[in-house]
Structure 1
Amino acid sequence: MNQSERIEQKQLQGLVFAAFLTDSFIQPFGQRSSVLPARVAILSSGLQLAVLALIVWIYMRAAAKRGPGRAASVVLCGALAVSIALEMIQGERFYSYVMDQQLPVALFLALVFVAAWYGAYSGLGALGRTARVILALTTVSVILLAASVAPQLRFSHLQTPPAELREIGRAAAAQFYLPPELVLLPLLADRKACAKGGGRVIGSIFAVNCLLCVLGELTLGPAYTQQTQPVFTIARLGGLSVFRRMDALHVGVWLLLFLIKVALYFAGFIRLWKHSFPPKNEHVPFWAALVLVVGVFFAAWNRNETWAFWVQQGLLATAVLLIFATGRRRKKA
């Protein structure tokens, strides 16, 4: 492993957290399109993430005993190729939604692909250091966002819909998905320093989600649940002194998170490909990723991408089960 590919455990956790955090600002693909009231959203998100944390804890214990076999690596490469294509589709749609003056679709996608590809080529260490800077910018962005809408916050805007356990369970099930970055977490570190911070990452995401949905409902009231991109909506409403439009600043930071996420998926694909098929030419995994991602992208573009989302989730679940089964067989042996 090259020095540029080495990454410390805390850096890796920060990188995974930055990738996972993207979904808190950009409404993720494959989820319900409607936004839940803050009270229901917090309770259902807590249930959803608690189940996810349990699954990740069991999975990481198995992954720590033995790295992924060839079968699991191949399945994960397929899942990551689908994930990259879906993220690029989602990123382009978000960009088209929020920007008044837009780049041509082909140019936007080409720039994203090149930036993510270069980030993966630079290695996990470089991505981890970049993620730390972007997380600092995200913290500043959230502080500025809260400060900019502070005069518009009203406690009377908070909704108190009935929160029955059955409704919360349905909402949690509807929003549940397996994030590729959490599957990658124990596989990208050295085995002697296998990452164990999945619970910390999930807990931090829950805290951010609670903050954002409460902030959104305090600002918008009942209109909060009618938004397609609720965080962007409140960003457009905020202003500080002479700065009346700060949404471009926030969108820039969110797109940096998006780029980090796509670059992490690329890096994971390349690491797993090298693990399964050690190449004589180190550029082969990059070209393999290019061909697979472009193929999936054009297969899903401007069509119903729901099938691609379920293919991604099925491949991720299959890989997790393969790694878990491998860990159990080794324990019995």
Structure 2
Amino acid sequence: MRWRPFASMMAARMVLTTAPAHAAERNAYPSRPVRMVVPFPPGGPTGILARVLGQHLSESLGQPFVVENKSGANTLIGAELVARSAPDGYTLLMAVDNTLVMNQFLHSRLSYDPVKDFSPIAKVADSPLILVSGKDGPKTLDELAALARAQPGKISHGYGTITSQLAGEMLKSELGLDMVGVSYRGSNGTIQGMLSQDVTFVIDGVATALPHIKGGKLHALANLSQTRIPDLPALSPAADHPRLHEMNVAVWMALVAPAGTPDAVIQKIEAGVSAALKKPDVQEKLLGAGLVPKAGTSAELKQLIRAESARWKPVIERAAIKIQ
């Protein structure tokens, strides 16, 4: 009965032989250019984020990180491309919350599994959502609620993303309001709808609305996230309202790789992202695009996806939202 010492010896030998292999793998990466897929058209905040991070990762890791826009189908096209790519760290996805969370509940048939098909790298930024009205519209949440109760089913709100649509559904549910949602194509369409007074208010990110808020054409009622907005420091969070303590909605961005990407590679990219987000010039560029840098770890991103899935599934089911 000498198999136990033999087994122990073999296990120890495996540890000793695989450890240098992992170290070599980590040190060798990257040995060629890396693709960062953005599932949106060029010019949006997600693309800006990818380009800013890509520049610093290129400098710190010694190979080009090339941004490639693959837009369409509510981020499905870009996400599927990365999910089907080789798990070697040379194709990454700059995902947003609906890619990794909401899509699985919105589509009856999804071409990828947000949990099984990706290896989380890190959350990188938040895009806080704000509630915006026209210059002659309601100035507080209570004024908005009173207006909606006086005209049930006639007050409309605009949105340009799934997350802003769901934020509107949450707002209606928590305040017990009957309002009509109006869909626009992205932030530019949403803000234009507000400037044209086609809707009573909109829910959108900061970057597109900010010039009009500062110019007095639009009014910011509330910050729907619990992340402070540097350009609007006096804007109160909606969570201060007695019936909205749980309100905390922001579009978040995260970097993921195809499932099965080696841990050593994930850790190297994660470290590079963390270092980049600490740099003042990176922070300045992201804040200028309406983004708040949020460095995180692979483990934290995995937990975030799990928690956000549990939060948004009942909201989507209650609102009966489906994308065909």
Q: TM-score range by the shorter chain?
A: under 0.3
Please give the TM-score of this superposition, normalised by the length of structure 1: 0.24
Structure number with higher helix proportion: 1
Please give the TM-score of this superposition, normalised by the length of structure 2: 0.24
Structure number with higher strand proportion: 2
Larger Rg belongs to: 2
